[in-house]
């Protein structure tokens, strides 16, 4: 009996740089996750800083508390990552960056990453290309070409997302999911 081993579903981790709930950046990552589930059969698990904040206060990963160490381990073991980031003063929050200061330099090499961010207005949209993409370039991660930026007003609780935003989510999710199709094809 020569049965093919069952293919393990990709582990997709969403990570938001938010320290409160509800948060629009978290809602945006959830919207991307919903599209990945609906259209591509991928099932992301989403975390944010609020899950690990008390345990993050260290300058070395081994000295962090258990929740922060678990978050780091999950990010580094993920097959793909969805990043959700609020924009503060034209950049990502310091604690968000601190998490990635604890990630081993080669840990995210060739890992698909979908970038999302939420800011107060359109001028904050440049943060994705000038801050987030270079950060993940350092890690040699494979960021998908389309990032998803939303103004806070586009993510009002209880309101449907605007069509241009859902279109962009669909494009980015397709590019992200395609990374896993390529991996499966090259493994066969």
126: domain CATH number is 3.40.50.360
pLDDT in tens, 143-178: 999 999 999 999 999 999 999 999 999 999 999 999
Look at residue 1 in the predicted model and tell me its pLDDT.
47
Strand partners, 118: 86, 150
pLDDT in tens, 69-90: 999 999 999 999 999 999 998 9
Check: CB of residue 141 under 8 Å from CB of residue 110. yes
Q: Taking the CA atoms of 24, 12, 138 and 172 in sequence, report the sign of the dihedral they define.
A: negative
Q: Is residue 1 part of a domain?
A: no
Q: Is residue 159 part of a domain?
A: yes
Look at residue 57 in the predicted model and tell me its pLDDT.
85
Q: Is residue 77 part of a domain?
A: yes
| Domain extent for 146 | 12-187
User: In the predicted model, is pLDDT for residue 182 greater than 80?
Assistant: no
Q: Whole-angstrom distance between the N-terminal and C-terminal Cα of the chain?
A: 19
User: In the predicted model, is pLDDT for residue 3 greater than 80?
Assistant: no
Q: Is residue 4 part of a domain?
A: no
Number of domains, the chain: 1
Q: Is residue 83 part of a domain?
A: yes
Q: Is residue 27 part of a domain?
A: yes
Alpha carbons 94 and 143: distance in angstroms, whole number: 21
């Amino acid at each position: 009996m020569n049965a093919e081993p069952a293919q393990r579903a990709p582990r997709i981790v969403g990570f938001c740089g938010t320290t409160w709930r509800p948060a629009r950046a978290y809602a945006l990552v959830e919207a991307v996750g919903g599209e990945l589930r609906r259209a591509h059969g991928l099932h992301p698990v989403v975390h944010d800083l609020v899950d690990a904040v008390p345990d993050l206060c260290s300058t070395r990963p081994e000295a962090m508390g258990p929740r922060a160490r678990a978050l780091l381990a999950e990010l580094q073991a993920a097959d793909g990552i969805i990043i959700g980031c609020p924009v503060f003063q034209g950049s990502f929050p310091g604690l968000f960056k601190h998490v990635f200061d604890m990630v081993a330099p080669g840990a995210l090499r060739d890992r698909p990453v979908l970038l999302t961010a939420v800011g107060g207005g359109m001028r904050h949209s440049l943060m994705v290309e000038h801050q987030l993409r270079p950060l993940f370039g350092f890690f040699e991660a494979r960021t998908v070409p389309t990032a998803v930026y939303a103004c806070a007003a586009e993510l009002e609780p209880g309101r449907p997302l605007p069509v241009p935003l859902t279109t962009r989510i669909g494009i980015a999710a397709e590019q992200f999911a395609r990374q896993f199709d390529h991996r499966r094809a090259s493994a066969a």
